[in-house]
Amino acid sequence: MEDSTVKIAEVVNVGDVVTLNTVLIGTSGTIVKVNGEGKIRRRLFDMGLTPGAEVFLRKKAPLGDPLEITLRGYELSLRKDEAQYVEIKVTDVPASSEGENK
Amino acid sequence: MADKVLNVCLAGNPNCGKTTLFNSLTGSTAYVGNWPGVTVEKREGKYKSKEGLVVDVVDLPGIYSLSPYTPEEVVSRNFILEEHPDVVINVLDATNLERNLYMTTQILEMDVPVVIALNMMDAVENNGMSIDADAIANKLGVKVVKISALRNKGLDELMAVAAKVATTKREGKSFWDYGEYASKVDEAVAIYKKEEVSDPLFHAIKALEGDEIEAEKNKLAFEKVKELGVNIDEFEANSADKRYKYITSELAQYRTGAPVQESKKLSTSDKIDKVLTNKWAAIPILLVLLWIIFHITFASDLLYMHQWFGLELEDYPGFISFTLADGETYTPFAGLFYTGDGVNSIGEFFHCLAGDNETGILGLICLGIKQLLLMMGTPDAVIMVIYDGILNGVAAVVGFVPQILILFLFFSILEDSGYMARVAFVLDRIFRRFGVSGRAFLPMIMGLGCGVPAMVNTRTLNSDKERIKTIRVIPYFTCGAKADILAAVSASVALSFGWNADLFTMGMYVMGFVMAVVVVILMNKTTQREEVPPFIMELPAYHMPQPKAVAIHVWDKGKHFLKKAGTIILISTIVITMMENLTWDWRFIPAFEEATLEEIQALGYASYEAMEASSMLSSLGKVIMPLFTPIGFGTQLNSTGWIFGVATIQGIVAKENVTGTLTALAGIVGQNVEGLEDGDAVSQMFVATGITAGGIMGFTVFNLLTIPCFASVGTAKGELPTKKSYIGTILFWLLGAYVIASLFYLFTDAVVGNFGLVAGIIVPIVIVAAVVGSFFFAHLYDKKMRAKEALAA
């Protein structure tokens, strides 16, 4: 899989269901579904990325990937490739949506 | 208490303080090994209480789940299921209960007595929170003990409880809502019970999840469970989901007070993180930090006070000076604090303090032994074996230890503080392109100091293949000992060929980096093909490094080094020293700097050269000389070719030997070169032997890229997952270096004429050629593999 082929959502509103790799820094959401298969899906589950869990996209690495999210009271890093399997329902968007969305 | 020795194991998430707990419990009795067949660390030790309770403790690797995907998980799971420990102590990081309890719900499904240790309770209380341990214990039906492994609190109580629980029986129990699957789970459990598999509940649930190990180990039952027609993927999602739901709805309430971390508020950890992983500052900060670490550990010119600021010093005189019975005078502590090259860094100071067989503390001891032998009238030959052979070997290993420990210390501090995980986070994007994850950066960069700790550090990597790739290229990062070769050779080529010494040195460092990248890409496309392993990794909160935890880290790794490397480098040094000083008829050859020409003529040698050439090592060197011809320093040098060959062979034992040998032999061969009266001895020798520019290039490149030293060979053996990969690595180090060195030899000599430009221009050309060539090769191979796969499908 090539990195970050999924396009970045232009405008994400509260209530939208999007994949975790497409949202802006500062977005919060509730996990709706975890796709993917086998090892990666299992690992995502084990780390607490299960439906109903609240996640917050804290930052991206200096080169835009991987991502750092907060969930269940701890910080987790995952690549966009892995984040694309996680569907979230957006509960909060950053006040200023400009800037670092690459 | 029971008469039989209790057997407990510690299980828990990474970063939950398990290792600290283990070390606090077992103290000096602990030992570290690998699980049979896999390179997963195995720690075992004994706990003894004041009351006479004795417990065998096994520390399982830190894992998040008992799924079948990583070797750590498999090892832990099999240990509990097959070794039947009397008690499993499930260690939880009390500051992060939710995720830590997830694995608890899996462990509790096994038929084994469990005690929960709520670790880091001091941190929880400092945050103004409290946890109702009794309530959790009631809910889960197992004992819960609050402890702080770091402050040694609650440990005796924990072990007393464990001892009590060990005599009881416990049946596996699930703590989550099966929901629509309830009847299926019951049926699956019944199947496993009928097959008389122990821990039926655990196995049944794993089977319903379609677990790979389950499918192999309990085939019959697994097949029957399969017939129940449960959708594996859905069941797996459901079980993970419901476990977490149970934890949040039933257990999380027992933690009261402020939550661990307000998800959006900035804690101190976040503020630090803002700087350290800042978009622009992250990589420069990392580089500066690394420079500081290496400078403090290895520099012999602290802050470049000599080179840049013109500080002129005489060697520190040393405070002890004595003359042995053989008339030699020694000052073991000369140059301890500073030398003519500058002020010693902390690492270099300790290196000098430890010393070798004639300097430092080791020197005092070794020379003392020598003096004793001399006074007892021991024959020279025996003294040579003991002092120049055995003691020299021992001192070479031990003298090396302080710097390695200091390097370990710095890296352990970075690791313990939580910074290492961020480094991997920051660099993952770059490294993934080459086929390794961001975590591989650290071991590689440690290779610039010393390859041995670097190889030990590959333990943090995800897959076996990633470890193999990383270990193989670690030698390409020019280590401290090789820097010494570069310094000597570059000074000499500046004199004899007029090359720019700095450019040459830098070019060689860059050559190593580029080769590392090329080789990793190449391996990734050929023998070590794998999908880029996922990078789903916890970023632990920053905290002040705990001296105790850091000390444990350093000691663990240091011990490993001493054990693995100490034996092999010691034996090999002794063998090589003997071969260097013995002729085939077992006569001893005096060290040439200690004998006059008359003395050696009395022994029957015409000249120094003849004497040196009569040793076992040199005659072997002559036999294998043709081997070095393709890389520029073999038979084409006629009678003197063996010098470079011997230096190279000795370099395989330890790279420190290369300059030592060159300098020593230069004293003989380079003696009578005209027109170079005052130049340095090595450059005179270059002229005397008639080695070409390409030959020097081949010599340098081969020495930089080949087997780094016996110490790292020993370490690689301990760290590589299989014997095959170990042998492969050794062959790779030899053949890879050989091919690249011959390229450099041929290219450099082909463009002879303007030596001054060679270092600057030819190096990049060869590199580009190698890159292009390797991509081409990789492409072909890839195509072949794909065709094969298509055929198979």
Pairing of strands B54-59, B6-12: parallel
The alpha-carbon gap from B198 to the nearest alpha carbon of chain A, in Å, equals: 25
Residue of B233, B244, B536 with shortest CB distance to A82: B536
CATH number of residue A41's parent domain: 2.30.30.90
Residue A52 lies in a domain: yes
Is the CB of residue A99 less than 8 Å away from at least one CB of chain B? Answer: no
Which candidate, B648, B658, B652, B656, places its Cα nearest to that of B628? B648
As beta bridge partners, residue B274 has: none
Where does residue B54 rank: exposed (0-12), middle (13-18), buried (19+ CB within 10 A)? middle
Domain for residue A88, yes or no?
yes
Q: Give residues with Cβ within 8 angstroms of A31, minimum separation 6.
A: A49, A50, A51, A52, A53, A54, A55, A86, A87, A88
Q: CA-CA distances (angstroms) from residue B481 to B323, B336, B380?
A: 30, 19, 31
For the stretch A48-70, pLDDT in tens is 999 989 999 999 999 888 999 99
Q: In chain A, which residues have pLDDT < 70? A: 1-10, 96-102
Nearest CA of chain A to the CA of B64: how many Å?
Answer: 7
As a whole number of angstroms, the distance between CA B753 and CA B745 comes to 14
Structural contact between residues B602 and B590, judged by C-beta atoms closer than 8 angstroms: no
The answer for residues whose C-beta is within 8 angstroms of residue B616's C-beta and 6 or more apart is B578, B579, B580, B582, B583, B584
Which residues of chain B fall below pLDDT 50? 1-2, 260-264, 672-678, 753-758, 760-761
Q: Does residue A4 lie in a domain region? A: no
**Helix, strand or coil, per DSSP, at residue B53:** coil
Q: How many CB atoms lie within 10 A of CB B165?
A: 20
DSSP code of residue B340 = T
CA dist., res. B127 & res. B294, Å (int): 37
At how many degrees (to 10) do helices B282-298 and B392-417 cross? 150
What is the value of pTM for the model shown? 0.80
Domain spanning B6-166, CATH architecture? 3-Layer(aba) Sandwich (3.40)
In terms of Cβ atoms closer than 10 Å to its own Cβ (0-12, 13-18, 19+), residue B140 is buried
Nearest CB to B69 within list A42, A65, A78 = A42
Q: What single-letter amino acid sits at A85?
A: Y
* Own/partner long-range contacts of B625-631 (Cβ < 8 Å, ≥24 apart): B630/B738, B630/B742, B630/B745, B631/B695, B631/B698, B631/B699, B631/B701, B631/B702, B631/B738, B631/B741, B631/B742, B631/B745
Tell me how far apart the 2 most distant CA atoms of chain B are, in Å.
98
User: Which residue in B60, B89, B258 sits closest to B161, CA to CA?
Assistant: B89
Neighboring chain A residues of B237 at a CB cutoff of 8 Å? 34, 41, 45, 50-51
How much is the pLDDT for B118? 95
**What is the reported pLDDT for B532?**
74
CA distances from B792 to B779, B785, B788 (A): 20, 10, 6
Q: What gap in Å lies between CA B435 and CA B561, rounded to an integer?
A: 28
- What are the two backbone dihedrals, phi and then psi, of residue A13, each rounded to the nearest 5 degrees? -110, 160
CA quadruple B389, B391, B397, B399: dihedral, nearest 10: -130
Q: What span, in angstroms and rounded, lies between the C-alpha atoms of B399 and B465? A: 33
- CA-to-CA dists, residue B466 to B434, B532, B608, B744, angstroms: 11, 9, 50, 28
Find the CB nearest B245 among A52, A70, A76.
A52
- Number of Cβ within 10 Å of residue B365's Cβ equals 17
DSSP code, position B587: P
Q: Which residues of B touch A100 (CB under 8 A)?
A: 279
Range(s) of the domain holding residue A81: 17-92
Let me know how long chain A is. 102
Q: Where are the domains of chain B?
A: 6-166, 179-256, 290-415, 418-529+624-792
Contact list in B for residue A45 (CB cut-off 8 A) is 236-237, 240-241
Count Cβ atoms below 10 Å from residue A96 Cβ, excluding itself.
Answer: 8
Q: Which of A54, A62, A67 is nearest to A25 (CA)?
A: A67
**Does residue A9 belong to any structural domain of this protein?**
no
Domain-located, residue A42: yes
Report if residue A101 sits inside a domain. Answer: no
How close does chain A come to B29, measured CA to CA in Å? Answer: 34
ipTM of the complex: 0.87
- Give alpha helix (H) positions in B195-267: 200-208, 212-217, 219-226, 232-246
- Considering only CB atoms, which residues of chain B are within 8 Å of chain A? 64-65, 67, 69, 96, 98-99, 102, 233, 236-237, 240-241, 244-245, 259-261, 263-264, 277-280, 282-283, 421, 425-426, 428-430, 432, 534-541
Q: Which residues of B392-419 are buried (b: 16+ CB within 10 A; e: fewer)?
A: bbbbbbbbbbbbbbbbbbbbbbbbbbbb
Give a yes or no: residue A60 inside a domain: yes
As a dihedral over the C-alpha atoms of residue B71, residue B75, residue B77, residue B82, rounded to 10 degrees, the angle is 150
Strand partners of residue B89: B10, B115
pLDDT digits (tens, 9 = 90+) for B101-123: 999 999 999 999 999 999 989 88
How many Cβ atoms are within 10 Å of B531's Cβ, its own excluded?
A: 11
Q: Identify whether A10 is part of a domain.
A: no
Q: How far apart are CA B526 and CA B520, in angstroms?
A: 10
Chain A nearest C-alpha distance from B523 (Å): 20
Strand extents, DSSP E, chain A? 17-19, 28-34, 54-60, 67-71, 74-78, 86-92
DSSP E strand stretches across B402-556: 537-538
A65 touches chain B (CB under 8 A): yes
A102: tokens are 């690459």
Task: Using CB atoms, pick whichever of B278, B280, B539 lies closest to residue A76.
Answer: B539
Count of domains for chain A: 1
Closest CA relative to residue B577, chosen from B611, B614, B617: B617
- Are B102 and A56 within 8 A, CB to CB? no
Q: Could you tell me how many residues make up chain B?
A: 793
List CB contacts of B705: < 8 A, sequence separation 6 or more.
B475, B476, B512, B515, B733, B736, B737, B740, B741
Provide the 10 A C-beta neighbour count for residue A85. Answer: 19
CB atoms B426 and A100 under 8 Å: no
Task: For residue B131, give both structure tokens.
Answer: 């946890």
* Rounded-to-10 torsion of CA B678, B679, B681, B686: -140
Contact B90, B153 (CB under 8 A): no
Q: If you search the block for the tokens 């370099």, which residue do you land on?
A: B651
Asked whether B98 and B244 are in contact (CB, 8 A), the reply is yes
